[in-house]
Structure 1
Amino acid sequence: MTFSSTIEEVNSTRRKFKISVPASSIKDAFQAVATEIQKTAEIRGFRKGKAPATLIRKFYMGDIVKKAADRVINEAYSSASKTVDFQIVSHPHIEPVNQFDESQDFEFSATVDINPKIEIKDYQQIIIKMNKNLEIDVEAEVEKLLNNYARALGKTEKDESGRVIVKGDVANVSYTVTHDGKLLEGKEAKNQLIELNGSNLAAIEDAIVGMKALETKEFPVDLPENFADADLKGKTVQFSLVLNSVETLVPSAFDEEFAKRLGYPGMDEVRNNLRETIKRSNEEARSNVAFEQVVEQVLTTNEFEVAESLIESTIDRAIADANSRLAKDAQIKPENEEARTKYRDWANKQVRGILALGHIARQEGVSVTDDEMLRDMASYAMANQMDPQQLVKRAGAQVYDEFRGQVMIRKVISKILETAKVEYTAENTDTK
């Protein structure tokens, strides 16, 4: 199909395609659509698909005009939009200039929002404050995790020496719990193994340390305010505990059986997976900490406008996300102007920040391969005990773009961190 087009700059974030299609192409579209309809048309007195073209036009002209117009507009706009040097970020708003008729040229406009190509400056020497614990030794972290798994999958052996139990041992205990002299049903335990490694309530571990096998002890325990049982939060209960035996933990050996219990054929696969998981987790944590700081500093030194449609769609997503956490009678209506106004500044900054990182990616030649995107998706799925295909079924094909975008942001942040001045602190960095 032949056509001619020009592009008008409406403003910095909007362009209008002005497209003219000659009558000859319009006539071809009419004929093609009429022929397609003729193949399946059923008109009394004629076999299916055998009615003459004149009758097809008589009975189906409305359908012919609509389908031919859609075809001409879609094909012409699609071809015209492929030759531009800017990124289109919205669906086109189509406006016919004249009537669609096969006897004359057809003109229409297609207005779109765009992401204008700009050069981001002054991002190479950004100052980032980051918690010291995000500066990690990956191999050391791998060994730490392996040791944790080895202890979790290990076994215990009774110590028959008669010695007292110490930190690092495993206590086999039975106990009952009372409050105000009343036995708490469901809080008792028999032959429970408690590893004295600091992960339990300090009062319980401290009471057990120094006991010998078969010794009994009664002691109070102050339960924390965040205790799981709401009725006992912040209260003091009384434990009556017997140490059945002192046991030592024998960690599992790093062998093929250990690997298979973790779901892998061998230790190389275990280490490789842990390495990738740790790297991804650390990269994601560093990216999360740096993101707001990078965006804040980049946007301070780089002024540019963004398409209104991107801001509006970001507000829509924010409201939908808020509604997912609200009761039905507290839902926010998408058209609620007060709510949309509340989210507008945040959405504007969010869109500008993401687009700024996209421009930096272009300037630095940062891209994301399909393999990188799929590996990130698989790592996320494994961490959440899901099959990657479940993600696709649940979120649709757009999940690929979402993961590609997440990887892109992390890669850009990592690139910026290469030249940024990173100040490590002992305290948590506020990332809100």
Structure 2
Amino acid sequence: MQVTETLNDGLKRGYAITVTASELEAKVNEKLAEAQPEVEMKGFRKGKVPMALLKKQFGQKVMGEAMQESIDGAMNEHFEASGDRPAMQPEVKMTNEDWKEGDDVEVSMSYEALPEIPELDFSKIKLEKMVAKAGDEAIDEALANLAETAQDFKARKKGAKAKDGDQVVMDFVGRVDGEAFDGGAAEDYPLTLGSNSFIPGFEEQLVGVKAGEEKAVTVSFPEDYQAENLKGKEAVFDCTIKEVKEPVAAEINDELATKFGAEDLAALKAQIAERLEAEYAGAARAVMKRSLLDELDKMVDFDLPPSLVDAEAGQIAHQLWHEENPEVEGHDHPDIEATDEHKKLATRRVRLGLLLADIGQKAEVQVTDAEMTQAIMNQARQYPGQERQFFEFVQQNQQMQQQMRAPLFEDKVVDHVFENAKVSEKEVSKDDLQKAVEALEDE
């Protein structure tokens, strides 16, 4: 077997691989000899079929397997000997297309090698960690928001008209073609106007009603309504309004605290402070991570595989195009050309991606099964009622697993660098931290 270099230009590599006819024949004979003890054929006992007959019967199939294994073996030997790591799947093709049995097999292999990554001294990296405390104002604001979610309703003055957001307590009976239907009636039903919990168009017609008033509401059931007998049908609901109530925020006291699982108001405030400071810490980490990536980008400069940069630029251009054209959900759209700006961003991402991967490999950073399971569970919560199906889908989908593992790995590598860099803390206000986060989003 011969491997001859045909191209060595930057990171581009090309090789000609020759598998001689004698090597190929030896491989075929070896595979047939391995299989012979298990082969059964009419007229022969198991394991006693002559080699010449085996070759005639199975030679073509085994030849193809032997050819593929020989080429794969030559490639693996090359990568082990050279130390090259291909950036993407190598392009391999047979060059003697008129090959026939008894000829040497000639193959060309080309790829872009991953670059050598320089060693870095992380102790030279200086970072500032923003620390924000949850002040009384932020805690009170969060408490007010909680009180609003736990709102109650109190009766409006007699004769007051219902507004959007008010609660209307009523009896109603719904009829289609003059006939009442199952599930179309209720007594003392509390309906919040604007909640969109009833058929489209129903709640809007109750805006302006008063207690003691009777109101006929005419609506049409949607064409995709779950009840087959009501799909697309017009219905009239005779409503008797009993009360009109306005929303009032719950009082901020111990009773409110117990609604949210705390022993008392002081305990609820402590929980809120802890949650807020966890949010602040997450935001501060994002700011510090960007600073770290900026520092790393300044510290390194090495050749990048053009194929990786082009692929990343294409993905960036495609993603940004869809963000600007949200109405286009599929990929049935014109080709999207990557601009110089996309390529500049892609160059940074590829360089930092290769650098972080190298740092993680050298530091033996691993994403544990427990961390992956937790990540899958967190994402599964976005699909209420389908958590199990999502979990099984990820378990059976290697590409999805890789997509979820990559950010976990990157964060662990970043934490590794944080631990070895010089990090100083700076106490800041919530507003200053928010401005720093907004600056990230603007870049």
Aligned match of 2:237: none
Aligned match of 1:414: 415
Letter paired with 1:116: P
Bigger shift: residues 27-36 or 97-106: 27-36
Correspondence list, 1:24-423, <5 A: 24-29=22-27, 68-82=66-80, 84-96=82-94, 98=96, 100-121=99-120, 123-128=122-127, 131-133=130-132, 172-175=153-156, 184=163, 187-189=165-167, 249=255, 251-252=257-258, 285-321=283-319, 322-323=321-322, 325-327=326-328, 332-333=333-334, 336=335, 338-339=337-338, 341=340, 343-363=342-362, 365-371=363-369, 373-378=371-376, 380-381=378-379, 384=382, 387=387, 390=390, 393=393, 396-418=397-419, 419-421=422-424, 423=426
Letter paired with 2:310: E
Q: Measured at CA, do residues 342 and 183 of structure 1 come closer, stay the same or move farther in structure 2, by a change above 3 Å?
A: same
Q: Measured at CA, do residues 117 and 286 of structure 1 come closer, stay the same or move farther in structure 2, by a change above 3 Å?
A: farther
**Corresponding residue SS for 2:338:** helix
Query: Contact (CA 8 Å) 1:128, 1:423: kept in 2 or not?
Result: no
Task: Give the Cα–Cα distance (whole angstroms) in 1 for the partners of residues 391 and 9 of structure 2.
Answer: 39
Cα deviation, 1:315-351, whole Å, max 9, x if unaligned, reads: 3433554448441699554xx3633555222211111
Letter paired with 1:358: A
**Corresponding residue SS for 2:107:** strand
Letter paired with 2:345: W
**Corresponding residue SS for 1:117:** coil
Task: Give the Cα–Cα distance (whole angstroms) in 1 for the partners of residues 249 and 114 of structure 2.
Answer: 69
Q: Measured at CA, do residues 348 and 62 of structure 1 come closer, stay the same or move farther in structure 2, by a change above 3 Å?
A: farther
Letter paired with 1:387: E
Task: Give the Cα–Cα distance (whole angstroms) in 1 for the partners of residues 259 and 246 of structure 2.
Answer: 31
- How many residue pairs get matched? 338
Match of 2:435 among 409, 414, 428: 428
Task: Give the Cα–Cα distance (whole angstroms) in 1 for the partners of residues 250 and 63 of structure 2.
Answer: 88
Query: Contact (CA 8 Å) 2:95, 2:108: kept in 1 or not?
Result: yes
Q: Give TM-score, length-normalised by structure 2.
A: 0.55
Letter paired with 2:19: V
Q: Measured at CA, do residues 53 and 188 of structure 1 come closer, stay the same or move farther in structure 2, by a change above 3 Å?
A: same
Cα deviation, 1:243-295, whole Å, max 9, x if unaligned, reads: 9999761644999xx9xxxxxxxxxxxx9xxx99x98x778645533343322
Aligned match of 1:205: none
Q: Measured at CA, do residues 123 and 246 of structure 1 come closer, stay the same or move farther in structure 2, by a change above 3 Å?
A: closer
Bigger shift: residues 300-309 or 95-104: 95-104
| Structure 2, unpaired ranges of 5+ | 40-48, 170-207, 209-243, 263-270
Query: Contact (CA 8 Å) 2:367, 2:409: kept in 1 or not?
Result: no
Letter paired with 1:298: L
Query: Contact (CA 8 Å) 2:91, 2:110: kept in 1 or not?
Result: yes
Taking only the aligned residue pairs, the percentage that are identical comes to: 15
Letter paired with 1:398: Q
Letter paired with 1:367: V
Query: Contact (CA 8 Å) 1:290, 1:413: kept in 2 or not?
Result: no
| Structure 1, unpaired ranges of 5+ | 41-50, 137-143, 153-165, 192-236, 259-270
Query: Contact (CA 8 Å) 1:14, 1:113: kept in 2 or not?
Result: yes
Letter paired with 1:359: D
1:304 Cα offset (Å): 0.9
Q: Measured at CA, do residues 112 and 339 of structure 1 come closer, stay the same or move farther in structure 2, by a change above 3 Å?
A: closer
Q: Measured at CA, do residues 132 and 314 of structure 1 come closer, stay the same or move farther in structure 2, by a change above 3 Å?
A: same
Q: Measured at CA, do residues 243 and 399 of structure 1 come closer, stay the same or move farther in structure 2, by a change above 3 Å?
A: closer
1:303 Cα offset (Å): 0.9
Task: Give the Cα–Cα distance (whole angstroms) in 1 for the partners of residues 301 and 247 of structure 2.
Answer: 68
Query: Contact (CA 8 Å) 1:30, 1:68: kept in 2 or not?
Result: yes
Query: Contact (CA 8 Å) 1:175, 1:188: kept in 2 or not?
Result: no
Q: Give TM-score, length-normalised by structure 1.
A: 0.56
Letter paired with 2:413: V
Letter paired with 2:393: K
1:62 Cα offset (Å): 8.1
Q: Measured at CA, do residues 175 and 117 of structure 1 come closer, stay the same or move farther in structure 2, by a change above 3 Å?
A: farther
Task: Give the Cα–Cα distance (whole angstroms) in 2 for the partners of residues 77 and 355 of structure 1.
Answer: 23
